[in-house]
Amino acid sequence: MNAFWVTLSASVILILSIASLPLLNNNNANHFTFADLLSWRSCSFLNEVADLLVTNGTIYTSDDTLPFADSMAIRNGRILRVGSYSFTKALTRPWTKELNLDGKIVVPGFIDSHVHFIPGGLQMARVELRGVNTKDLFVDKIRKAVANVKHGSWLLGGGWNNDIWGGDLPMASWIDSITPHNPVWLTRMDGHMGLANTLALTLAGISRINENPNGGAIVRNNDREPTGLLIDSAMKLVLPHIPDASVDERREALLRASDHALKRGVTTVVDFGRYFPGSLPEYPWQDFSDVYKWADLSGNMMTRVCLFFPMETWPRLVDLMSKSGRVLSQWIYLGGVKAFADGSLGSNSALFHEPYADDPNNYGLQVVDLDGLYNMTLSSDKSGLQVSIHAIGDRANELVLDMYASLVSEKRNRDRRFRIEHAQHLAPGTVARFGEQSLIASVQPDHLLDDADSATKKLGSERAERGAYLFKSLLTNNAQLAFGSDWPVVDINPLKSIRTSMKRIPPHWEKAWIPSECLCLKDALKAYTISAAHACFLDKYVGSLSPGKYADFVVLSTSSWEDLATEVSADVEATYVGGSMAYSIKPDVKRE
């Protein structure tokens, strides 16, 4: 009898509570039916009532258990249900907002697996040399920029690519006459080479008597005089003389970078920070403390970030993780550590088994001592950190593969998810090792647009086509493929990168470069979503539109899956982070 009265009392209270809800909402003209009551009682009273229903679209989930749906129910920024309209509608109430997609395609929020986020934001306010295709235009850009800089102040910028103006490397003499009062530092697009004017070289004490540092090179003319170009670790000769960006400048850079990413549909980034050969390993830690923690506490985070730190600072990261864990908030995740094995193809510093075709005595640069790299990697791995190593040339990739294999053989089996960043050029037989060793290939499709011509020139056509950007082969051999941009080396633009991975047609080419390596749309989307999340241990939180995960999604401008699958002819119409609009192409629509 007591159980009967308890059940009856609870039912009466529930019915009265439901009946009173419409009275509390002045805008509500709907009434509850008995069917509403039954459907509501079938779900959790407090936790499974949606505050947003996304419906009437083609939702690609990146979840193999349910690849496509037409509706999503969301509560407090997380996904409750994905499926049919009737299935998700059961979790709505009169106050639930509804987003009608009007037939548009929705995909999970893109995860850019390799960015330098704050440097990208800083570069947006500096001299932008990306796309400059003649020497005259290069010089003119500097002339205009220096006119707005105070005497004595550094002029900073980057993004230049000598390959697109014919291959001649820039020299200090190009710009000395127009920059007599301002030291200048201009990085190549890949970040592995920079140009200093003569004033900057003088301030840094660089002359013909300097020896090349380990892992770097001072480019010289026939008289052994420095031309102004510094490669990889040689950049550390000038970088300490450049005033560091202020805290305010770096905070503004984060906001610019986040806004830019959201416009391209990127809701999560894996940030390798202000860390390049020759830079100070302290910089990423400064940005963590001064910028990211500030943004999180002040409510200024707009994109989720997974942070990687210089490998030489691994004890510091271990200490931080022991105190805070990996998840600092819904916005900030601690990823792991990164090191470099070689340089870049464009700077002739990627490490190869065979010499460069255009530089027969040069095999590239091994930018770090292998014993030191092994010991740091061993310590990082032993401490439970995820390890990521930059490798572009075929020899560099093999060195890293060998090292990872030896670590696994020495230690107990666990889910390591070792990463190789770039993995651009692979020797025969190397591809299969990625799958055999369960490695992450973190690659950047748009790099191939810049490299197709230069790789042919630097490596020879047969060698370049044998081992360059082997996306399809990596997938076929069970490697995990994670896509990114390497911004600001290449612009953040996942839809463009997806199209590049599917078409592989460089500028001014009519046919695909290595067409056998073209991907289909679904493989490319997964590399920017669920596989990218897996690659940084975030697959429990993001990467697919699955129940329990954050409601990060992108509304595309097309309603035709066929058009998307053949031409990727779409733009980002809106970006949602945690179920809230973070960007819309429509000027009259405000962020939530």
| 444-487 residue pLDDT tens | 999 999 899 989 999 999 999 999 999 999 999 999 999 999 99
pLDDT digits (tens, 9 = 90+) for 221-242: 998 999 999 998 899 999 999 9
Question: Given a cut of 70, is residue 45 above it in pLDDT?
Answer: no
Number of domains into which the chain is organized: 2
Within this chain, do residues 130 and 216 fall inside the same structural domain, yes or no? Answer: yes
What is the structure's pLDDT at 15?
A: 42
- Residue 152 in domain: yes
Global pTM reads: 0.87
Is residue 131 located within the same domain as residue 196? yes
Is 214 part of any domain?
yes
133/225 same-domain check: yes
Residue 582 falls within a domain, yes or no?
A: yes
Average pLDDT over residues 240-262: 96
- Beta-carbon contacts of residue 101 (< 8 Å; ≥ 6 apart): 54, 55, 56, 57, 555
Same domain, 74 and 177: no
CB 496 within 8 A of CB 570: no
- 78-100 pLDDT, tens digit each: 999 999 999 999 999 999 999 99
Q: Residue 162 belongs to what domain range? A: 116-239
CB atoms within 10 A of CB 86: 8
Considering the domain architecture, whether residues 122 and 185 belong to the same structural domain is answered as yes
**249 contacts 242 by C-beta, under 8 angstroms:** no
Q: Tell me the sheet residues that pair with 71.
A: 83
pLDDT at 6: 39
Q: Model confidence over 302-322: pLDDT tens digits? A: 999 999 999 999 999 999 999
How many Å apart are CA 340 and CA 176, to the nearest integer?
A: 32
Q: Output the average pLDDT for the chain.
A: 90
Last residue of a domain, one of 224, 239, 254: 239
The reply to whether 121 falls in a domain is yes
Q: Which domain-ending residue is among 200, 220, 239?
A: 239
Q: Which of 17-26, 86-95, 295-304 has the lowest mean pLDDT?
A: 17-26
- What are the DSSP E strand ranges found in 17-104? 52-55, 58-60, 68-69, 71-75, 78-83, 97-100
The answer to whether residues 206 and 151 belong to one domain is yes
Q: Are residues 189 and 137 in the same domain?
A: yes
User: What is the rounded distance in angstroms from the CA atom of residue 290 to the CA atom of residue 307?
Assistant: 14
Q: Is residue 13's pLDDT more than 50?
A: no
pLDDT of res. 47:
58
Q: What is the pLDDT of residue 26?
A: 35
CA 471/CA 468 separation, integer angstroms:
9
Smallest CA-to-CA distance from 406 within 438, 437, 368, 441 is with 437
Task: Kindly give, in sequence order, each residue whose CB lies less than 8 Å from that of residue 308, ignoring residues fewer than 6 positions away.
Answer: 270, 271, 272, 273, 284, 335, 336, 337, 338, 388
Here the CATH number for the domain that contains residue 223 is 3.10.310.70
Percent pLDDT > 70 in the chain is 91
Task: Out of 239, 255, 281, pick the residue that ends a domain.
Answer: 239
Largest CA distance in the chain: 104
